[in-house]
Amino acid sequence: MSGEPKREWTLNDFEIGKPLGRGKFGNVYLAREKRTKFVVALKVLFKSQLQKNNVEHQLRREIEIQSHLRHPNILRLYGYFYDESRVYLILEYAAQGELYKKLQEYGRFSEPTTANYIKQLATALEYCHRKHVIHRDIKPENLLLGLKGTLKIADFGWAVHTPSSRRRTLCGTLDYLPPEMIEGKAHDANVDLWSLGVLCYEFMVGNPPFEAEGHRDTYRRIVKVDLHFPDYISEGARDFVSKLLQHDPEKRMRLDMALQHPWLVSQSQSFSD
């Protein structure tokens, strides 16, 4: 399916299977392309919902960005089509589903498991940044797992293609927002470095580092970088996370340095399924 010339798809091309997930603007279904028997995830979005919430431009951006990305750790968007009331996205099927559910099931991940996921995520983000794409909404709910447990970044709804590189909209999810976005300053690809640090912490601990009772307290903790580690977190892991969670975006550890960090290298090597 991936190597075929561009063609017009319709709903008749697919056999629709079980629902895989439910979103604000529609649902995702397991589907199979009738002719090739190729299995995909079909994301069905309702135009009325998109219009009501004024997110059509966001969807166009998501399609535009995701259809140009080719990386083993980024969910493929094979194509899209629409009818009078719906928009359909033909996506790669991630057989193991949401990473978020796995984290809930286990409570927290071991350091080798965490390092394995973070390494894959950092590699994908490095690829995105080379293509001038900032994701801006990296969180467990936006990460899926393929058949063999390969991590896949999904949902580029908040991503932005920025040759100009600095933006000022408040987006992303509260727990993962970096200080510069909370403070309303311009931001660039360094926001994804912050999110990587937040995720690394959450994978090992089971909840994000700046979680608090209310929005205001969470904001305050983020801006102060009020970071505390449980006793069981190793020195190497603390060093890795602390180097990403720097208030000054320019001081955050770069992705190439993160991928060479001794903790990440040693722990991801000791990972086994």
Q: Where are the alpha helices (DSSP H) in the chain?
A: 47-52, 56-66, 99-106, 111-130, 179-182, 190-205, 215-224, 235-244, 255-260, 262-269
Active site residue 217: no
Residues ≥6 apart with Cβ < 8 Å to 137? 155, 157, 158, 159, 171, 172, 173, 176, 195
- CA separation for the pair 273, 267 (Å, rounded): 13
- CA separation for the pair 201, 195 (Å, rounded): 10
| Angle ∠(165,60,69) on CA atoms, nearest 5 | 60
Helix (H) or strand (E) holding 160: strand 160-161
190 marked ligand binding residue: no
41 marked ligand binding residue: no
43 marked ligand binding residue: yes
Query: 83, 137, 192, 273: which one is catalytic?
Result: 137
- Residue 19 CA, chain-centre distance (Å), reads 21
Tokens standing for residue 94: 């991630």
Which residue type occupies 97? G
141 marked ligand binding residue: yes
Do the beta carbons of residue 75 and residue 66 sit within 8 Å? yes
47 marked ligand binding residue: no
155 marked ligand binding residue: yes
12 marked ligand binding residue: no
24 marked ligand binding residue: yes
Q: Which residues are catalytic?
A: 137
Residue set of the binding site: 24, 43, 92-94, 141-142, 155
Binding residues for ATP: 24, 43, 92-94, 141-142, 155
